[in-house]
Amino acid sequence: MSQYTAVTDADLAEMLSAIGVSSVQELFDRQIPADVRLSRPLDLPAGLPEQEVYAHLRELAANNVSAEDEITFLGAGMYDHYVPAVIDMLLGRSEFLTPYTPYQPEVSQGNLQAMFEYQTAISELTGLPVSNASVYEGPSAVASAGYLARLANGKPKFVVSRGLHPHSRETLQTYAHGFGAEIVEVPLKDGVTDPDAWAAAIDGETGAVFFQQPNFLGAVEDAAALASAAKDAAGGDSVVVVGQYDPIPLGILKPPGECGVDVCVGEGQTLGNRLDFGGPSFGFFAATEAYLRRMPGRIAGETVDADGRRGFVLTLQTREQHIRREKATSNICTAQALNALAGVVYLTWLGKQGLVDLGELLLQRTHYAREQLAGVAGVSALHDQPVVREFAVTLDVGGVDGVASVIRRCQDAGVNPGYALGRDYDELGTGLLVALTEQRSKADIDQLVAVLGAAVAAERSAAGVTA
């Protein structure tokens, strides 16, 4: 017996004999081509005592910089919002922390209720009648919406705004290749989706259209106009209008359900989840009732038991382990239930008025930050569209390398000024995306203005930029 398995040498010999092979290695030799086998022991260092491993891991961790180590204005889909202590307290309870997806779901009334309350919150937030019990994250939610549309109407064309998050566009492209859909991208004009190009790209073969609210450049789109134009250009309601929404601005923006959006998806990290160096988080997925049976994942429902007491059931589960694989809409299992629980706890903690207050606070601070930065020499607003929590500026510093250098200079001064747009948009090589949360005070914004102004001035001088 080994330290990790209960199989004895005699057990192993009996099993190998039963299937007609002489060794475990022979199993690998039969299945794995010789040219892809390593054919030597793994090059691993010698083991270390536990305390030395701990010291080594601490040394590695010290190389990371977190949002608590610098004043950060990074955004681009993940944001440094405050996470209240009640979330850690509730998520640490073993009833929520340890369970796997319930295979006898009605036994797990607590987990089902948590799912149901989460769905209710997402439905109220989006103004759409149906929500599932979460998916993995925002981009895969977008891709799942594409698959839903392909199943619903069979049309092979997806029209996608260039303002949709780059990761969402990439994920949708990957999924679409698998189920035979073509992606047509619509450019931006003055910071928002070009309305004329949008309408021109949509036709009777268009199965779904995708936009983001606010879009990746931080601009607030006219969601109702985009949805209406899509229905008109496609010749009816068969086209599925998909909106990827940031949930926090929904406190002050018109909800997608009132804008003609059929499916609303998004990244849930901002709702009670920390940055955690990129994850995990969760994705939310809400829709009109027409698409109820094509939604991915699970949907919990409310009912009464034989004695008339309130109870919860797993109403729909469209994952491949529960129904025939060819009828499944996803392979989502436990999904991100714990992260989604953090989301509903956060929304409950914040409350309806609190969400409005937070949105208004972000609106005011974002306006102040954009106004102050636009007054810095070498910095200008990329567009003048309305923004809520994020905005884009351009830096006159000689190109992409100059932007990278400015960011490094700011980081050395303890401020992360934002996200370099040139990483995802070739046409915006001198762009910088600046994000605000309630954790960035007016003093922090003033410090950003000072630090970024000094960095831009130094880079312009080094690059010989005089205009």
pLDDT band at 322; cut points 50, 70, 90: low
Higher pLDDT, 263 or 68: 263
Residue 321 has pLDDT above 70, yes or no: no
Exposure class string for 140-170: b at 16+ Cβ within 10 A, else e:
bbbbbbbbbbbebbebebbbbbbbbbbbbbe
Name the residue among 283, 270, 243 with its Cα closest to residue 436.
270
Tokens linked to 74: 């990074």
User: Tens digits of per-residue pLDDT, 131-184?
Assistant: 999 999 999 999 999 999 999 999 999 999 999 999 999 999 999 999 999 999
The percent of residues above 70 in pLDDT, for the chain, comes to: 95
What pLDDT does 466 receive? 65
H or E stretch at 242: strand 240-245
Q: With DSSP H G I counted as helix, E B as strand and the rest as coil, what are the percentages for the chain, rounded to 5?
A: 45, 15, 35
DSSP output for 107-148: G-HHHHHHHHHHHHHHHHHHT-SEE-S-BS-HHHHHHHHHHH
Tokens linked to 59: 């040394």
What pLDDT does 436 receive? 97
Rounded to whole angstroms, the Cα distance separating 101 from 443 reads 45
Rounded to whole angstroms, the Cα distance separating 87 from 99 reads 17
Q: Which residues contact 94 (CB under 8 A, 6 or more apart)?
A: none
DSSP class of 4 = S
Residue 256 amino acid letter:
P
Residue 202 amino acid letter:
I
What pLDDT does 332 receive? 64
Rounded to whole angstroms, the Cα distance separating 275 from 277 reads 5
Tokens linked to 206: 């268009």
What pLDDT does 2 receive? 64
Residue 105 has pLDDT above 80, yes or no: no
Q: Which domains does the chain have, with CATH numbers?
A: 9-62 (no CATH), 71-75+353-463 (3.90.1150.10), 86-346 (3.40.640.10)
What pLDDT does 453 receive? 97
Residue 317 amino acid letter:
Q
Rounded to whole angstroms, the Cα distance separating 397 from 415 reads 18
CB atoms closer than 10 angstroms to residue 32:
11
What pLDDT does 212 receive? 98
Tokens linked to 136: 């993995």
Region 225-245: mean pLDDT is 94
Quote the longest CA-to-CA distance of the chain. 81
Q: Starting at the earlier edge strand, list the strands of the sheet with 431-435.
A: 379-381, 390-395, 431-435, 419-420
Task: Report the SS3 class of residue 67.
Answer: coil
The C-alpha angle 334, 335, 341, rounded to 5 degrees, equals 95
Tokens linked to 374: 């636009």
User: Tens digits of per-residue pLDDT, 282-305?
Assistant: 999 999 999 998 998 889 999 998
pLDDT band at 317; cut points 50, 70, 90: confident
Q: Which of 24-33, 73-82, 189-198, 320-329 has the least mean pLDDT?
A: 320-329
User: Tens digits of per-residue pLDDT, 386-403?
Assistant: 999 999 999 999 889 999
Model-level pTM greater than 0.85? Answer: yes
Distances (CA, A) of 171 to 188, 291, 313: 20, 21, 32
Q: Which of 271-280, 313-322, 386-395 has the highest mean pLDDT?
A: 386-395
Region 212-217: mean pLDDT is 98
